[in-house]
Amino acid sequence: MFDLTGKVAVVTGASSGLGRDAAIAYAEAGADVVLLARRLERLEEVATEIKEMGRDVLPIKMDVTDEENVKEGIQKAFDHFGHLDILLNNAGIAVGGGVHQLSVEDFDKSMDVNVKGIFLVSKYVVPHMMDNKYGRIVNVASVNAIMADKADVFIRHSYNASKSAVLGLTLGMAASYGKYNITVNAIGPGLFESEMTEDTLFKSEDFLNLYNGTNPMCRPGKQGELNGTILYFSSDGSSYTTGQFIVVDGGGTIV
């Protein structure tokens, strides 16, 4: 049910963190993988690991906010594999600050990467899925799509707004593309260590104490703990599940 042999998975933000972990998990489940990110040298490192598993892998340098770049990259991926079955829209950024602190440029950057990026990559992947009458799309939102925090270290209003928009986009896509056997779901990670968090949140002892003190599992997420949910939404195990949002946060949103 969760075997992805014969499938091709497209992963944005695949050069590090959760995206890299997911790309490796897809390969372990039998899929060939398209790696997308701005840092080609980092993608090639991930590609080497996947090749050693005996999977086909294609690293492509891509800025998900650049439509022409996205269009060309997705066409290159389709030309190489002949079909695109799974899309993990993982690329994202987190800009700190409240509305009284954020510049317009910072707000626009959050929306461009976190929302426009999903729109653009999906825009050029979905037609191939429609033609094939098959697709699994997983959009990475955040627990911050449905909750916020009053602690100064965690104020990220543009991030809240962008990740909430990801949920709206997920619902619209799911409703429209279900008739093509394309499911569209979202996941909401809680706190995981990544390049986005290791130099900010993970360096704040006060924040970690607060997070661990209120989280039912008393800790942040560990490497790989998001992969099970990603693989569920990416496989035939979720063939009748679409438009849904699963939070992976150690229970943080329930208290």
pLDDT tens per residue, range 72-107: 999 999 999 999 999 999 999 999 999 999 999 999
Share of the chain above pLDDT 90, in %: 89
Q: Is the pTM of this model over 0.85?
A: yes
Residues with catalytic annotation? 159
What number is the average pLDDT over the span 117-133?
98
Q: Quick one: how far is CA 183 from the chain centroid? A: 15
pLDDT of 194 reads 73
On whether residue 49 sits in a domain, the answer given is yes
Stretch 183-200: mean pLDDT, rounded? 84
Confirm if 69 and 124 have CB atoms less than 8 A apart. Answer: no
Residue 202 has pLDDT above 80, yes or no: no
How does pLDDT run across 137-153, given as a tens digit for each residue? Answer: 999 999 999 999 887 87
Q: Is residue 233 part of a domain?
A: yes
Mean pLDDT in residue range 217-225: 94
209 assigned to some structural domain:
no
Q: What is the pLDDT of residue 51?
A: 98
- Res 111 pLDDT > 70: yes
Residue 131 pLDDT level (bands cut at 50, 70, 90): very high
- Is 170 part of any domain? yes
Question: DSSP alpha helices (H): ranges in the chain?
Answer: 17-28, 40-51, 67-81, 104-111, 117-132, 157-177, 195-198, 205-214, 227-234
Domain count, the chain: 1
Query: What is the number of helices (H) and of strands (E) in the chain?
Result: 9, 7
Mean pLDDT of the chain: 95
Predicted confidence (pLDDT) at residue 204 exceeds the cutoff of 80: no
Which CATH number does the domain housing residue 93 bear? 3.40.50.720
Q: What is the pLDDT of residue 201?
A: 66
- Segment 42-69 shows an average pLDDT of 98
Tally Cβ neighbours within 10 Å of residue 176.
12
Give the model's confidence band at 198: pLDDT under 50 very low, under 70 low, under 90 confident, else very high.
Answer: low
Distance, in Å, from the CA atom of 117 to the CA atom of 48, rounded to the nearest integer, reads 26
Mean pLDDT (whole number) for 16-31: 97
Q: Does residue 174 belong to any structural domain of this protein?
A: yes
**Which of 111-125, 185-199, 219-233 is predicted least confidently?**
185-199
Domain that holds residue 88: 8-192+223-246
- Distance separating alpha carbons of residues 147 and 158, to the nearest angstrom: 13
**DSSP code at position 150:** -
